[in-house]
Structure 1
Amino acid sequence: MTDHISTHQAEEDTRNEAIRIYVNGRILPKAQAVVSVYDAGFMLGDGVWEGIRLYDGRWAFIDEHIERLFEAAKAIDLDIAMTPDQVIQAVLDTQAANGMTTDAHARLMVTRGVKSRPFQHPKLARQGPTVAIIMEHSRPKLPRPIRLATVPHLRGLPMTQDPKLNSHSKLNCILACIAAEKAGADEALMLDLHGFVNTTNACNFFIVKKGAVWTSTGDYCMNGITRAKVIALCRANGIPVYERNFSLVDTYSADEAFLTGTFGAQTPVGVIDGRQIGTGDMGPMTQHLRDLYKKLVAA
């Protein structure tokens, strides 16, 4: 199995060669959008980020994404040096510079900025934060449901590195992704420190059993905005939904499984650890939730 795909797989779009990128108040051609090798994000992974998606002229749930960005910045004692409205305006300015109207994805990144010396202490970043927005034309394109493999890398306790923090320090997730790929899968299914099914290296994870939707307690995973929308949609539409501990035994016997994330919305899972889930194709509940989510975004 070498035909690996990704939950962030998109159609090729030649327009992305000519995109303009926001860096600290300037909107620059791709080749000129650079940061210093002394930047705390490059040097130490010292920063936070959000992904947001453009549908029909509107950035879906942008207020919630920006609120989460500021919460993360406060958690790492990082002053963004902009108001939430100014950050949103920077997104809109970058969108206008690129002439984008729909099917675009933005990665909004804030690091502690350029350091005076190449060492860890936060006080060595004296010039203020680096704020960058990469905005690309992107339409998800998955040729088949995703294959997952369980990996030994865990989502841990908040006092090691809180998994609720959208930080630039993604090495734990990257190592999980590498392990899954070595096992012939597309993405990693990660457990929590008690051995319960938690999340994948890049997305939140759900299963469907006997007409009910299950996901983890949320204690050890990024509490995704798309995840929260799916839970709310279930509750609003009379679909039983549970945030609970469950194991791989429960998972392998699921009728359906799917992932949630800003980029792919709801992505079907066909195989986990070599075991086919349901029919191996997108199930009716996943399709139903996709339809409900599209209506929510449109509204």
Structure 2
Amino acid sequence: MSNETGSYEREYCGTEFESGPKKAGHISQNHREDQQRDEFIHALQRLATELGHSPAMSEMDEKGRYTQKAYITEFGTWNDALREAGLEINKPATVSKAEVVEAIQSLSEQLGHPPTVEEMNEYGQYSRKAATKHFGSWNNALRSVGFEPNHEEIPREELIEEIHRLAEKLGRAPFISDLNSDSRYSLRGYIRKFGSWNEAIKTAGYEPFTPFTGPDHPLWAGAEKRERLWYGPNWKTIRTRALERDSYECQHPGCQISSETHRDQFSKSLHVHHVIPLRSFHDDGEIDYERANMLENLVTLCVEHHAQWEELSPLRPDIQ
């Protein structure tokens, strides 16, 4: 730009030039990347003005001057580009299932492989939270695109460190529900390493969340071992009937992991969960197993989603 003395000043470095061509030559030689970044930002801002909202990656590809891939190469992630341009970040709550699928496919093309949770959080248009909202889990989202699920082999130390980070942020030991909104890792990673969420919490040095304690709880730690593990005389039969009714698949919305796949991934059978918990059928020191184990009170779940249902019990994730 020209100042009052008639010279030309380069905004990035403050150097003055006698003519416009000399300034342009200096920019081309020394500030080409700065100029390109500036042009990306202006193009993004112009498109946002035209649309009346922060552009989605698909809108940039369709209507923008540059592709969304160019922005991710330049800024690292699409949301980082929006931040640089001073635009509002796209909110996952408004994202459709089709948009999540498109974002996973797009990131997969850029990476050359199906994205992990961490890659989606860092480089994707939307975070894992948007995917799990529609599909129940990250691996289910991958399956919907036709990819094989990730096993999320994350070192124990990193998982424990993440629990500490969440606890510091929340001011308490994190719940399973906090993983969907705040965690870098999914519940599946913790189950694969520790066997259960409560074991992960205890390993990290925290007291697990348990809304019901004391001798009235069917799983009370002070009870006899037989009482803690026994679900009644008809449990084996009714459990098999529940599995058969549910076609040996997890019934959590969007999951449907099969018994065979579940055993491959977790080395254990699918769980059968009491929708209305056993404690609700506890009366005068006895549990009414006949009522508790009625087929309509049972649902087949994978170990991952069983933990989520237990935390919400007696509510159900699909109707809460």
Q: What TM-score, normalized by structure 2, do the two folds share?
A: 0.25
Q: What TM-score, normalized by structure 1, do the two folds share?
A: 0.26
More strand by share: 1
RCO (CA 8 Å, sep 6+): is it higher in 1 or 2? 1
More helix by share: 2
